Amino acid sequence: MVGHRRLRVLACCCACMFALLLPGLVLAAEGGETKAGAATAPGQVPLQPAVNSPTVKPVGSKPTRDPQTKPARVKSVDERLEELEAANQELLGVLRNLAVRNEALKSRIGGTQQPGAPLDRSLEGGVDSIENPVPDSPEPSESVGPADLLAPSPTMPAATAAPAPARDSMSPGLDRSLEGGVDSIENPVPGDKSSWKDGRIKIGPGFMLESKDGEYQLQFHNETQVEARIYQQGGMQPAASNFDVPRQRLIVNGRMTKNLEFDASIEAGYGNINLLNAWLNFKAGGSDQFMIKAGRMKMPYMYEWYAMANVDFMTPERSLFAMNFALNRSPGAMIWGSVLDKRVDYAVGIFDGPRNQYVDYNNSKDVAAYLNFRPFLKSEGLAWLKNLNLGLSVDAGSQDNPILPIGLKTSANQGNNLLLDNVAPSWFNFKPGVYERGWRNLGDLHLAYFYKQLSVITEWSGGSEHYGFQKQTTNFKVPVSGYYVSAGYFLTGEEVERRTQVRPKHNFSLKEGKFGLGAWELVGRYSTLNLGNEVFTNNLADSSKWANGAATTDVGFNWYWNPYTKVYLFWQHAEFNQPATYNAQTHARQINSDLFWMRFQLYF
């Protein structure tokens, strides 16, 4: 108990010292403007001696005692502490009054801000920088603590905040967007809140943030595919039955004003990570009729490649020609759009050219063009032909690059992934050192028809490629061609106008009251690919190991659980025009191959 009282006495002494010093500090801040006994300005609170404050004697004076006075009784420690406690309470009252007067003087001074002490902490670094802005003032509390002793009295007018200095008067470096570091131009300082726009959030498919006027939009999408492959042929090497992740895509797209769109996507699959898309699209006239796209994008060749997304395929993968000889994605620029009231889609562009690669190896570029025509789109009398698509596409350019990959497959989309040999067996391989060198000329004709539950797509592709060995100058022309016919029919009644997101009439659910089987689509496809015998006669490949022609038959079901989830259940039978190696060690060969294929897909 005594210890606590001694601490309180010490606090009392500190308070007394502060009470003595504070008036002097306040007067010094006035710069001598306010003198003792001078008239106060209107509204100013005059400085007055504190009432009931203890008398302070001059330093160095000695106490005197009347000889007639009898010695006072010595007080106990508890009595002295009680007296000091009372004095402490009086001094605290004095301190509060001085704080109130200090606030009044500060208000008189006019709030002139001293250089180097900005009131707006959002212009500084540290905890209260722009990244962590100054919080709003908390609501007043009924409880009183030590900090409340210096708080302005509720009856006093609030001090006027000093205005922030003009931008021109700020010291260099205050605008951090001109410096390096976290807040450099690459990560600019946010704009004024007055320029912020109200927005909305949409969920499904993906997550979309959009301003209310629709000018600004940001979307996040995810695509996940997980599959199981079971090959009937045993003893394959290096390919084998397995579980795989063929595609995992993280997609960010949107627009910065309605006329400028963007896409930045990353793909991982079969143990490989790649940049998928990175492009900007400018709507020159503010509509879809004429647009300019630049960056890494799909090349406009083949309906199956250019006009369809992989999540909307009828079969797990593309046809034989599209998997092995289509142009995939490439850096370039193109003009494209839709005209004549959506009847005609067109695209033409110039691209680097090398298939499945990120850089070009020569100065020559490829020109690719695509045209799709819906002649009966607006015809009321021929409504059953409304969704008939007819079109063509071409590609031409001179190449001088390595072949990637060197093998052709029946069930794996070709890319720059060297691990694909572990996923699917090859039926044809170029010899090491063979380059794609010389002119590439390819053409394609397509037909796509959709009516109620029915989808029918067919394409023929063909042309010529030139190949040669890396250290030789002779090139050899090799003709290539292929076609496919695919059809799908929804057994559960869903109707389609093109290959896009399917919304089941009843989502798959086993819950009572919400029971549903999802949507079921029966699918079949026949696909072929042939290379000219020139690949063997010019020693570009070994005819004793490989075939130069293949055909596949795919039969199965697509099971749509909901608009975002799909399951492929398929059997693929492949046949080759001559035996092809399926075991690299024993050189065992097969004339046909069977694959049982299940793939689970989520796109959101």
Res 30: pLDDT: 44
Q: Is the whole model's pTM more than 0.85, yes or no?
A: no
Res 76: pLDDT: 73
The more confidently predicted of residues 73 and 62 is 73
Q: In terms of C-beta density within 10 A (0-12 exposed, 13-18 middle, 19 or more buried), how is residue 233 classed? A: middle
The answer for residues whose C-beta is within 8 angstroms of residue 439's C-beta and 6 or more apart is: 396, 397, 398, 399, 464, 466
Which residue from 206, 215, 293, 202 is spatially nearest to 255, judged by alpha carbons?
Answer: 215
Structure tokens at 467: 């190949």
The more confidently predicted of residues 215 and 45 is 215
Structure tokens at 409: 């497959």
CB 435 within 8 A of CB 403: yes
528-542 mean pLDDT: 96
Residue 376 — φ and ψ, nearest 5°? Answer: -110, 20
Most confident region among 199-208, 269-278, 490-499 by mean pLDDT: 490-499
**One-character DSSP codes across 286-329:** SSSSSEEEEEEEE-S--HHHHT--GGG-SSSS--HHHHHHS--E
Which residue from 170, 155, 163, 77 is spatially nearest to 112, judged by alpha carbons?
Answer: 163
Res 490: pLDDT: 98
CB 535 within 8 A of CB 541: yes
Dist. CA 48–CA 34, nearest whole Å: 13
Task: Kindly list the structural domains of the chain, giving each domain's residue range(s) and its CATH number in brackets, ordered by start.
Answer: 203-603 (2.40.160.10)
Res 523: pLDDT: 98
Strand segments, DSSP code E, in 96-215 are 199-203, 207-211
Res 144: pLDDT: 39
Structure tokens at 150: 């210096």
225-229 mean pLDDT: 97
Residue 284 — φ and ψ, nearest 5°? Answer: -60, -40
**Regarding beta strands 426-429 and 407-409, do their DSSP bridges make them parallel or antiparallel, or are they unpaired?**
antiparallel
Condensed to tens digits (0 to 9), the pLDDT of residues 402-414 reads 887 789 999 988 7
Q: Is the pLDDT of residue 483 over 60?
A: yes
Dist. CA 448–CA 32, nearest whole Å: 92
Which residue from 242, 231, 130, 113 is spatially nearest to 165, judged by alpha carbons?
Answer: 113
Dist. CA 444–CA 370, nearest whole Å: 9
Condensed to tens digits (0 to 9), the pLDDT of residues 444-454 reads 999 999 999 99
Residue 359 — φ and ψ, nearest 5°? Answer: -130, 155
Condensed to tens digits (0 to 9), the pLDDT of residues 485-497 reads 999 999 999 999 9
Buried b / exposed e over 117-144, threshold 16 CB at 10 Å, is ebeeeebeeeeebeeeeeeeeeeeeeee
Condensed to tens digits (0 to 9), the pLDDT of residues 281-309 reads 999 888 899 999 999 999 999 999 999 99
Task: Categorize the per-residue pLDDT at 59 as very low, low, confident or very high, splitting at 50, 70 and 90.
Answer: very low
Structure tokens at 327: 């142009």
The more confidently predicted of residues 180 and 277 is 277
Range of lowest pLDDT (168-182, 229-243, 370-384, 493-507): 168-182
Dist. CA 131–CA 123, nearest whole Å: 10
Q: Is the pLDDT of residue 260 over 70?
A: yes
CB 539 within 8 A of CB 500: no
Condensed to tens digits (0 to 9), the pLDDT of residues 571-597 reads 999 999 999 999 988 999 999 999 999
- Report whether the peptide linkage leading into residue 425 is cis, meaning its omega lies within 30 degrees of zero: no
C-alpha distances out from residue 8 to 2, 3, 89, Å: 10, 9, 10
531-558 mean pLDDT: 96
Condensed to tens digits (0 to 9), the pLDDT of residues 186-203 reads 444 455 556 666 788 988
CB 304 within 8 A of CB 390: no
**Which amino acid is residue 398, in one-letter code?**
S
How distant is the alpha carbon of residue 205 from its chain centre? 15
**One-character DSSP codes across 111-125:** -PPPTT--S-GGGS-
Res 54: pLDDT: 43
Structure tokens at 207: 């997550």
Dihedral sign from CA coordinates of 581, 586, 588, 593 = negative
C-alpha distances out from residue 404 to 63, 295, 353, 464, Å: 105, 21, 12, 17
Please tell me the number of Cα atoms within 13 Å of 427 on its side-chain side.
Answer: 26
Residue with tokens 């549903």: 516
3-state SS string for 186-197: CCCCCCCHHHCC
Which residue from 603, 513, 497, 593 is spatially nearest to 560, judged by alpha carbons?
Answer: 603
Res 75: pLDDT: 67
The answer for residues whose C-beta is within 8 angstroms of residue 105's C-beta and 6 or more apart is: 26, 29, 30, 34, 44
CB 134 within 8 A of CB 124: no
Condensed to tens digits (0 to 9), the pLDDT of residues 344-358 reads 999 999 999 888 787
Condensed to tens digits (0 to 9), the pLDDT of residues 109-152 reads 654 444 333 333 333 333 333 333 333 333 433 333 433 433 34
